[in-house]
DNA sequence: ATAAATCCTACCAGTGCGGTCGGGTTATGA
DNA sequence: TCATAACCCGACCGCACTGGTAGGATTTAT
């Protein structure tokens, strides 16, 4: 259960754009250098963000990218959705524009998919987490943590302390 | 962002076991037939559940599997964890035995990982959803949704596992 | 004109996933 | 006692998808 690296890179890119003033555009090369990411790959990533209307671009020399909206107005579910294409815990959640959710097994007859309840709850949890986080928060977080001092007692963001990795 | 089919199959298997009385074990073959899943693959799946102590088994003729605990006492985060190995939205969440969380990029120097905040919230959302769902709920759900008549034995072997979803 | 940058499409190698196969080992029961 | 039903285990395999590269075309500032 993992987001692809497109999500990772794309979010980093958005944060980086959020740190810049939107006066003049930021080039991909600058971001690639700052984050140590492959430029050619970033191009593919940022294309998704552009098509989703989250960033704008200018071509030519001194061109680059900037946020289409202020970071406070950008919820992270939009960003992740643009990057990943879908936010679903299971591929049987691919549903057409209607409300029908069909599962690969138990195709239509018989009982409803027993796992559906579970995956819907998980999906709800994920989407809620993303919706309630704005890009501005991440920008702020990254500003606080840049190489000045050790982390202040970070107000625990609802991450349970239970052992996340059981051997 | 997707769980693997191990999670899907494993959860179905657990639900199926929850529907049976724990008096006598249920054979994998029965479950495989009921759900239309490949038996040999189910063996791998159930092995994880057994190693995690969620199911017990008896070998030999009339052997099979049963829940190690009543379904009310089984939270789904245990199940998914046993099946997936880890519940993390991003592989940079692989952290060693200490508390350090290290990210693939921005290795040690400089600011903390800007995306960390986001992924931790997502992870929290997922884990909370799973923790607050018990196997008993899923069993109950599946009981509610079963048609009165048992499904006709439709031998749809060789049903394409993968592409059946996208219309 | 040249350089800096976005844009676009095709391609490629590795890995992980879903699944199979073959062969144990253990228990029942005829 | 012996066949059979089931669990158990490890090796293997094709393929789709991911992460990344290559190469070029277009646009714009200097």
CB atoms within 10 A of CB A76: 24
> Helix (H, G, I), strand (E, B), or coil: what is residue A64?
strand
Give the pLDDT of residue B102. 44
Nearest nucleotide (C1') to alpha carbon of B6: C18
Of A1, A2, A6, A149, the residue nearest A85 (C-alpha)? A6
Cα–Cα distance between A44 and A64 in angstroms, integer? 14
B36-71 tens-digit pLDDT: 999 999 999 999 999 999 999 999 999 999 999 999
Domain B5-144 CATH assignment equals 1.10.10.10 = yes
* Contact yes or no for B1 and A137 at CB 8 A: no
Print burial letters for B127-161: b (CB count within 10 Å at least 16), e (below 16). Answer: bbbbeebbbebbbbbbeeeeeeeeeeeeeeeeeee
Residue A62's pLDDT is 97
Q: What is the pLDDT of residue B148?
A: 53
Q: Decide if A158 and B106 are in contact by the 8 Å CB cutoff.
A: no
Rounded average pLDDT over B110-127: 84
Asked whether strand D has any atom less than 7 Å from the CB of B118, the reply is no
Chain Cα centroid distance, residue A110: 37
| Cβ contacts of B15 on chain A, cutoff 8 Å | 114-115
**CA-based angle A109:A110:A111, to the nearest 5?**
130
Say what the pLDDT of residue B1 is: 60
- Tell me if A129 and B117 make a contact (CB, 8 A cut-off): no
Token pair for residue B46? 């159930």
CA-based R_g, chain B, Å: 19
| Cβ contact A164 with chain C strand, < 7 A | no
Q: Is the pLDDT higher at B94 or at B126?
A: B126
| DSSP bridge partners of B57 | B65
H-type alpha helices, chain A? 5-19, 28-35, 39-51, 76-84, 116-131, 135-144
pLDDT for res A75: 98
For residues B42 and B11, give the distance between their C-alpha atoms in angstroms, rounded to a whole number.
Answer: 11
Residue B94, pLDDT score:
59
Taking only the tens of pLDDT, chain A with its 167 residues reads 589 999 999 999 999 999 998 778 999 999 999 999 999 999 999 999 999 999 999 999 999 999 999 999 999 999 999 999 999 888 777 644 333 344 544 444 344 578 989 999 999 999 999 999 999 999 999 998 876 555 455 444 444 434 333 32
The SS3 of residue B65 is strand
Are the C-beta atoms of residues B79 and B67 closer than 8 Å to each other? no
Torsion of Cα atoms, B49 then B146 then B140 then B161, to 10°: 30
- Of chain B, the percentage scoring pLDDT greater than 70 comes to 75
**CA proximity to A84, closest of A1, A18, A151, A17:** A1
Residue A83, class by beta-carbon neighbours within 10 Å (0-12 exposed, 13-18 middle, 19+ buried)?
A: buried
Q: Alpha-carbon distance B1 to A160, whole Å?
A: 21
Using the CB atom, is residue A61 less than 7 Å from strand C?
yes
CB atoms within 10 A of CB A163: 9
Torsion sign (Cα): A108, A128, A7, A150: negative
Give dist(CA B2, CA B9) in Å, integer.
14
Contacts with A91 from chain B: Cβ below 8 Å:
2, 165
Query: In this structure, what token pair is assigned to residue A115?
Result: 């796992």
What would the pLDDT profile of B4-35 be if each residue is shown by its tens digit? 999 999 999 999 999 998 778 999 999 999 99
Q: What is the CA radius of gyration of chain A?
A: 19
Q: What residues form DSSP beta bridges with B103?
A: none
**pLDDT score of A163:** 37
- Those of residues 70-129 in A touching chain B at CB distance below 8 A are 76, 80, 84, 86-92, 94, 96, 102, 104-107, 109-112, 114-115, 117-119, 121-122, 124-126, 128-129
Residues of B in contact with A31 (CB under 8 A): none
Per-residue pLDDT at B153 exceeds 50: no
């Amino acid at each position: 259960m993992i987001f692809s690296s497109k999500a990772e890179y794309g979010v980093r890119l958005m944060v980086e754009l959020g740190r810049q003033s939107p006066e003049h555009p930021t080039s991909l090369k600058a971001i690639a250098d700052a984050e140590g990411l492959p430029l050619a790959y970033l191009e593919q990533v940022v294309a998704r963000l552009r098509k989703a209307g989250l960033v704008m671009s200018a071509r030519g020399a001194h061109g680059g990218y900037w946020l289409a909206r202020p970071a406070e107005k950008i919820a992270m579910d939009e960003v992740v959705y643009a990057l990943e294409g879908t936010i679903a815990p299971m591929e049987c959640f691919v549903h057409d524009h209607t409300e029908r959710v069909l599962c690969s097994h138990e195709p239509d007859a018989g009982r409803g998919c027993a796992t559906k309840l579970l995956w819907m709850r998980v999906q709800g949890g994920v989407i809620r987490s993303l919706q309630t986080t704005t890009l501005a928060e991440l920008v702020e977080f990254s500003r606080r943590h840049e190489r000045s001092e050790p982390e202040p007692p970070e107000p625990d963001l609802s991450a349970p302390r239970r052992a996340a990795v059981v051997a």
